[in-house]
Amino acid sequence: MSEMMLLLMSAASLGVIHTLLGPDHYLPFIVLGKARNWSRPRTLWITFISGVGHVAGSVILGLIGIGMGISLSKLESIEASRGSLVGWMLIAFGLLYTAYGIYKYVKRGAHIHLPAFLRPRSIRHADLHLDVKELEKEDAGRLTPWILFLIFVFGPCEVLIPMLIYPAANQSGLGVFLVALVFGIATVGTMMLVVFLGYQGLSMVRLKGREHQLHLFAGLVILLAGAGMQFMGL
């Protein structure tokens, strides 16, 4: 077996493993997809675009570093810094979305459990007549996919750059391209598969009457994913 074939097999394996070991690669898409009532195709499309941006960010950094003769240790240090930045970005996003979830729960959910005559008159009619899809139309949620995309563009693929060094050192442009391509397919494909399975799994959970709590749940999950990435190296 040739060295290039071994390198490509390693790229594919590491792409799958590093994705599975990082909950931040898929949990935000699963919980936000359900909380924001995205369709399955839309959730997978957002996952795909974010995953491509995730891989492309490290590829571009690696190519720039190789072209400028930056050492591997320096590139790895830059990737580590990017990882710390993204961890804090996820934590900040999780905190903001948790606050949003609390707001939605208090505004739309907390009074549902009270008898109608005890609900504030200003929201009584809304509680009785607005369903979840109508409530979601009030949300200014168009920024959410872009926030996810931006976070993932900054997100590092620490295992990718060292693999790009070998074919680059042998002056093999095709090798660099193939390693990046195989790693990208493995990473994005794994992200989409796990998101698909998670989305399907949540669809089987009976949430009737609890839809107003999904935003709060999503915020807490994103917050935990960011904390795990920042403080536990996940």
Checking if the pLDDT of 99 tops 50, the result is yes
- The dihedral built from the CA positions of residue 186, 188, 192 and 194, taken in this order, carries a sign that is positive
d(CA 101, CA 140) in angstroms, rounded, equals 13
pLDDT per residue over 7-66, tens digit each?
899 999 999 999 999 888 999 999 999 888 899 999 999 999 999 999 998 899 888 888
pLDDT of residue 79: 82
Half-sphere exposure of 32 (CA within 13 A, CB side): 28
Structure tokens at 57: 């960010």
The rounded Cα 171 to chain-centroid distance in angstroms is 34
Average pLDDT along the chain: 81
pTM above threshold 0.85: no
pLDDT of residue 234: 66
Query: Assign residue 22 a region: left if phi > 0, alpha if psi is -120 to 50, beta otherwise?
Result: beta
Checking if the pLDDT of 5 tops 80, the result is yes
206 — phi, psi (to 5°)? -80, 110
pLDDT per residue over 207-227, tens digit each?
666 666 788 888 999 999 888
